[in-house]
Structure 1
Amino acid sequence: MRLLLVEDDPQLQQQLAQHLQSSGFSVDVADDGKTGLFQACEYPYDAAIVDVGLPYIDGITLIQTLRKQQINFPILVLTARDHWQDRVAGLDAGADDYLAKPFVTEELLARLNALIRRSVGQASPVINNGPLSINTKSQQVSVNGNVVSLSSSEYRLIEYMLMHLGEVNSKSQLTEHIYNEDFDLDSNVIEVFIRRLRKKLDPDNGYGFIETLRGQGYRLVNLNKDSNG
């Protein structure tokens, strides 16, 4: 999942970015509201973390502007602990949740993951597709109860596809949501990871989890429909 972090405190920004990256997220950062607005309009994000007190464009105005432009990814707003007005203003502006500083990074991760899940209609951290199961909290993937070992990039790819079950995803779309803005979008890395996932998740091709649509991209087949009759 690809995140936008808009935070002007260099130390906090660096700490958060490192923690989020170590938790499997691809993170783009912005030091002020003006840069954050540009990036949010330019790149496809799965969620954003926005501080209220930003230079040039404050966090509340940034969120309001994004919502007016129909940019609807989940937003977690960061506020000062003693400024309850900022929390109310952030939610009224269109933020989906808030976290007061100082905070524990584990809580930030839990809230962020919950926002992303809810944005695609998933309430539980465990997401199933037939015999395929992903625990987004522990980042554990299993098939028929057997844990499958994946690299961090392979996990990010299958997690995104499962979050968008049944949807066709182009190679560029997958790359944009899994890697940050500096990644080479012309790379064939997605093809390599799709091949590895097929081999690891379904070596005998008994389930046909991942479907290739020539000229369009890839789709994770919805096997829940079959199991539900």
Structure 2
Amino acid sequence: MGDWLQVSASFAAKRNEKFLILGRKGSGKTAIFKRFLTERNPSEFSYGHSFNDYPWQHHDLQAQTGVPEERRFFHSWKYLILMGLAKILLNQDQSQPWSEQSSESMQALEDFVVDSYGSRDPDVRQIFSPEKELRFKGALKIPFLEISGERVRVRELPPHIQEVNQVIQEHVLRSLNPENSYYVCFDELDLGFGKADEAYSQRLIGLILAARDLFSWADEAKKSFVFPTDDI
């Protein structure tokens, strides 16, 4: 992919025309990924996931049972994307809180992230650590979810993750400043890929479905964030 094609793909993603960028090895996908992370604009914020050292074994524990194979990782990817947006909001976006409504939601997100992971900016390798305790309180309590002491270990998250995502998504939506753009990017998803590895295919499908779902949600909510994704 030439430089002008890289620029064209970047613009298409930033105009919310695309959430997925495909290409063979060497076609320039990583260059686009780096462009999103390094270009500076006071109203644009990005966070990048590079899976060279990503703990896939912890992610695999989040596979849901009793659902179609292609959706086994849908909610775990969605949770990871929402955590990426929370990290941007808590650590990069200096416009926050941009409104009275966002103030309460920003506080709820901060309480959840800090109480659960011990930092406003947790390492991605901690997100699915099985023994981490997610802590829900105040504005981020989970409706109709009985959690002893308002806590649940990550290894026990799959049965509850849909409700968890719904509540976090609502607070992220209220917090996103409509004057800004937010990007969560993924790279190196082809590392270790094998055509015979069915579980790996399921993970990738789950990510694409989760990205498309949140992309559509953002578009309907008149918010701007996209997920340019490096794929096979």
TM-score normalised by L of structure 2: 0.31
Q: 1 or 2, which has the higher helix percentage?
A: 2
Q: 1 or 2, which has the higher strand percentage?
A: 1
Give 1 or 2 for the bigger CA radius of gyration.
1
TM-score normalised by L of structure 1: 0.31
RCO higher in structure (CA 8 A, sep ≥6): 2
